[in-house]
């Protein structure tokens, strides 16, 4: 009998995970799910993160040391960053267009609104939320301190071992790898040869690990989703419904925005600009990465799978994959910037503040920067939202209102972030004549 394709198996794992969580919540088994099933999901995320850093390091060094023409590096850099900034600004603008037309903050029933605000204020006092908020605020503060050049300064590691051991410092690992790769091309070939051979071999090992772990992905994804949902609902499934009720218009606006990106913007770009692909083959090729993004909520953890799909299934060259995707995982977050634009305006509407056109333009600017600066980990977009809110004089504490619904939205925006990275890699590969087309 023919075996079901892996992406279908993973999809089935995802659906079964959700079904399991609902049943176990009804039967009062959530604790069992959290104690015995969720840990397998945690292990999956750990393995992916474990693979991501050496993969970025080795693939960039390999890619650069094999470049015959070093000026290509500068060209790729300009194209990649240009594409990322343009799509991010498009995403925030779509978000702002939607939130201003849907007005989700004005659609909440006044009685429900009062209840939500009272709930939010009660929860805020001395609770878990206020602690989390304080932590998140200080994270965002740290990123905001320093002059206008701080972002550039922070790209450069002072100790590569420190950067390698800190998952949010991926950009520093990328800078080190680029420098090392350039150095390797400049030394005499006989000295560089053993270093290159080692890097190539080690890279193969890491790629093999990605393949192995993906074979077990259906089970891991089941565990991840069951664990996440069981944690959200506990033994009271009605809680999930309650959480969504007051915020449903807001959530719907975000979902519509994300769907526009995924079903209209990216397919149009692919259809118009990338000849060897059409939107169908594109989605078929990156399906696995999208499901892993959905279940892990982390573009960084998904990176090994994204690289695998884009290189092997979309047929993008190694050079492009190993440069564009690691940079994209941290820098390019269209889903996050769209979400930040919508959320800032939603909160202003909810609490009765009118935002001027100037303030909305400020949101476009800060949401673009905040999504670039957000690390590719769960909830990063929420943390950076503090900066967006403060840029237009709104209180950061308001994010407490949307805390409860952040995880499902995070899962969805991470899918968009990863799809945006794959789109960029395909477009840039096409412009360099380095895409072969679908290979499933």
Q: Which of 6, 168 has the CB closer to ligand ASP?
A: 168
Candidates 379, 419, 423, 430: give the one binding ligand ASP (CB under 6 A).
Answer: 379
Contact status: 373 vs ligand ASP (CB under 6 A): no
Contact status: 311 vs ligand ASP (CB under 6 A): no
Contact status: 400 vs ligand ASP (CB under 6 A): no
Q: Which residue has the tokens 């503060």?
A: 141
Give the integer Cα–Cα distance in Å for 423 and 437: 13
Instruction: State in angstroms the smallest separation of the CB of 49 from ligand ASP.
Output: 11
Q: Which residues contact 196 (CB under 8 A, 6 or more apart)?
A: 62, 65, 184
Contact status: 87 vs ligand ASP (CB under 6 A): no
Contact status: 218 vs ligand ASP (CB under 6 A): no
Token pair belonging to 90:
């498009």
Binding segment for ligand ASP among 230-238, 256-264, 295-303, 385-393 (CB under 6 A)? 295-303
| Residue 316: strand pairing partners | 435
Candidates 140, 374, 401, 427: give the one binding ligand ASP (CB under 6 A).
Answer: 374
Q: Which residue has the tokens 């050049």?
A: 149
Instruction: State in angstroms the smallest separation of the CB of 289 from ligand ASP.
Output: 12
Contact status: 167 vs ligand ASP (CB under 6 A): no
Contact status: 337 vs ligand ASP (CB under 6 A): no
| CA proximity to 368, closest of 96, 88, 94, 86 | 88
Give the integer Cα–Cα distance in Å for 11 and 9: 5
Contact status: 413 vs ligand ASP (CB under 6 A): yes
Binding segment for ligand ASP among 75-83, 103-111, 145-153, 412-420 (CB under 6 A)? 412-420
Contact status: 308 vs ligand ASP (CB under 6 A): no
DSSP-assigned letters across all residues of 335-381: HHHHHHHHHHHHHHHHTT-PPPHHHHHHHHHHHHHHHHHS-SSTTHH
Scanning 261-333, the segments in alpha helix (DSSP H) are: 266-273, 279-296, 299-308, 318-331
Give the integer Cα–Cα distance in Å for 174 and 55: 11
Contact status: 304 vs ligand ASP (CB under 6 A): no
Instruction: State in angstroms the smallest separation of the CB of 151 from ligand ASP.
Output: 17
Query: How crowded is residue 114: how many other Cβ atoms within 10 Å of its Cβ?
Result: 11
Contact status: 377 vs ligand ASP (CB under 6 A): yes
| CA proximity to 378, closest of 331, 341, 412 | 412
Contact status: 333 vs ligand ASP (CB under 6 A): yes
Candidates 381, 400, 404, 420: give the one binding ligand ASP (CB under 6 A).
Answer: 381
Contact status: 175 vs ligand ASP (CB under 6 A): no
DSSP-assigned letters across all residues of 384-404: HHHHHHHHTT--GGGGGGTHH
Contact status: 338 vs ligand ASP (CB under 6 A): no
Candidates 9, 24, 321, 336: give the one binding ligand ASP (CB under 6 A).
Answer: 336
Q: Which of 319, 421 has the CB closer to ligand ASP?
A: 421
DSSP-assigned letters across all residues of 85-148: HHHHHHHHHHHHHHHHHH-GGG-S-HHHHHHHHHHHHHHHTTSHHHHHHHHHHHHHHHHH-S-T
Instruction: State in angstroms the smallest separation of the CB of 378 from ligand ASP.
Output: 5
Residues that bind ligand ASP (CB under 6 A): 297-299, 333, 336, 374, 376-381, 410, 413-414, 417
């Amino acid at each position: 009998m023919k075996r079901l394709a892996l992406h279908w198996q993973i999809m089935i794992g995802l659906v079964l995970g959700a079904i399991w969580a609902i049943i176990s919540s009804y039967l009062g088994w959530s604790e069992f799910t959290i104690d015995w099933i969720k840990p397998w999901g945690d292990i999956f995320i750990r393995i992916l993160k474990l693979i991501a850093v050496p993969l970025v390091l080795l693939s960039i060094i390999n890619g650069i040391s094999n470049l015959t023409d070093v000026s290509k590096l500068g060209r790729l850099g300009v194209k990649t960053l240009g594409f990322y900034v343009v799509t991010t600004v498009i995403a925030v603008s779509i978000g702002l267009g939607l939130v201003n037309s849907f007005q989700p903050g004005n659609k909440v029933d006044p009685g429900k609104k009062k209840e939500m605000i009272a709930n939010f204020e009660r929860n805020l006092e001395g609770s878990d939320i206020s602690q989390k908020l304080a932590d998140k605020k200080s994270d965002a503060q740290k990123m905001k301190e320093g002059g206008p050049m701080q972002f550039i300064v922070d790209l450069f590691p002072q100790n590569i071992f420190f950067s390698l051991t800190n998952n949010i410092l991926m950009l520093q690992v990328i800078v080190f790898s680029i420098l090392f790769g350039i150095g390797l091309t400049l030394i005499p070939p006989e000295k560089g040869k053993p270093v290159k051979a080692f890097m190539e071999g080690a890279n193969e090992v890491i790629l093999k690990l990605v393949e192995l772990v993906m074979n077990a992905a259906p089970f891991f994804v089941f565990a991840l989703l069951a664990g996440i949902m069981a944690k959200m609902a506990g033994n009271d499934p009605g809680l999930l419904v309650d959480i969504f009720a007051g915020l449903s218009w807001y959530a719907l606006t975000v979902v519509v925005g994300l769907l526009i990106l995924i079903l209209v913007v990216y397919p149009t770009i692919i259809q118009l600009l990338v000849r060897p692909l059409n939107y169908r083959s594109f989605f078929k090729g990156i399906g696995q990465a999208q499901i892993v993004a959905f279940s892990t909520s982390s573009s960084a953890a998904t990176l090994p799978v994204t690289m695998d799909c884009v290189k092997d299934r979309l047929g993008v060259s190694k050079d492009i994959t190993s440069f564009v995707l690691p940079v994209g995982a941290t820098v390019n977050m269209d889903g996050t910037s769209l979400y930040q634009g919508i959320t800032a305006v939603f909160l202003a509407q909810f609490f009765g503040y009118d935002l001027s056109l100037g303030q909305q333009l400020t949101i476009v600017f800060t949401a673009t920067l905040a999504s670039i600066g957000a690390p590719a980990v769960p909830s990063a977009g929420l943390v950076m939202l503090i900066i967006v809110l403060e840029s237009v004089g709104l209180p950061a504490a308001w994010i407490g209102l949307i805390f409860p619904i952040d995880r499902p939205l995070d899962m969805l925006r991470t899918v968009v972030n990863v799809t945006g990275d794959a789109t960029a890699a395909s477009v840039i590969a096409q412009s360099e004549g380095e895409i072969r087309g679908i290979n499933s």
